[in-house]
Amino acid sequence: MELVTPEIGLVFWTTISFLILLFLLRKFAWKPILGAVAERENTITKALLQAEAAKEEMARLTSENENLLKQARAERDAILSDANKVKNQIINTAKEAAQKEGARQIEIARIEINNQKSIAMADIKNQVASLSLEIAEKVLRKQFEDQKKQDELVKDLLRDVKLS
């Protein structure tokens, strides 16, 4: 029961011990502890500020990346559009060149056909003329075998000449 109702000496020495402990703690422990707590608080505050700055930097970089992606997409679209235009232009140019070349080839073929036709017609005319002369020669030889027929022919020709 002594603890429940302590004597005055115990209370005195306990108080003195507590005050000495409080003084020693204040003198040697609280300053370093409070300094460490303040330093830790500063470190945490700096870390939070750095985290916030890193978050803002990430947002800025993300925004820049999105802008760069938009620009890259726009450039890609422009390049593809230009490539399609060039492709269509090349195709149209090739079509026009092919049509011109085809028309030129057709014209050359037409001229060649006409030349060959003219040559063939001249050859046929020569052959017909040659055959006609041969036939006429044979007919005239047959007719002129007889002198009487020759005289009649000359008379007919003279009559025709006089009449004309």
In a domain, 1, yes or no: no
pLDDT digits (tens, 9 = 90+) for 7-25: 888 889 999 999 999 888 8
Question: Could you give the count of Cα atoms lying within 13 Å of 56 in the half-sphere of its Cβ?
Answer: 6
In a domain, 30, yes or no: yes
DSSP letters spanning 8-71: HHHHHHHHHHHHHHHHHIIIIIIHHHHHHHHHHHHHHHHHHHHHHHHHHHHHHHHHHHHHHHHH
pLDDT at 125 over 90: no
Dihedral over Cα of 48, 49, 54, 58: its sign: positive
Q: Which domain holds residue 102?
A: 8-163
pLDDT at 144 over 80: no
In a domain, 149, yes or no: yes
CA distance 19 to 12: 10
Q: Quick one: pLDDT band at residue 163, thresholds 50, 70, 90?
A: low
In a domain, 3, yes or no: no
CA distance 140 to 134: 10
In a domain, 102, yes or no: yes
Whose structure tokens read 């330093």? 39
Give the model's pLDDT for residue 2.
59
pLDDT at 1 over 60: no
Task: Report how many domains make up the chain.
Answer: 1
Give the model's pLDDT for residue 149.
73
Q: Quick one: pLDDT band at residue 145, thresholds 50, 70, 90?
A: confident
In a domain, 29, yes or no: yes
Give the model's pLDDT for residue 48.
95
pLDDT digits (tens, 9 = 90+) for 53-103: 999 999 999 999 999 999 999 999 999 999 999 999 999 999 999 999 999
Give the model's pLDDT for residue 39.
92
Mean pLDDT taken over the chain: 87
pLDDT at 150 over 90: no
In a domain, 94, yes or no: yes
Instruction: Indicate yes or no: pTM above 0.85.
Output: no
Cα–Cα separations (whole angstroms), residue 45 to 7, 18, 26, 34, 55: 50, 35, 26, 16, 15
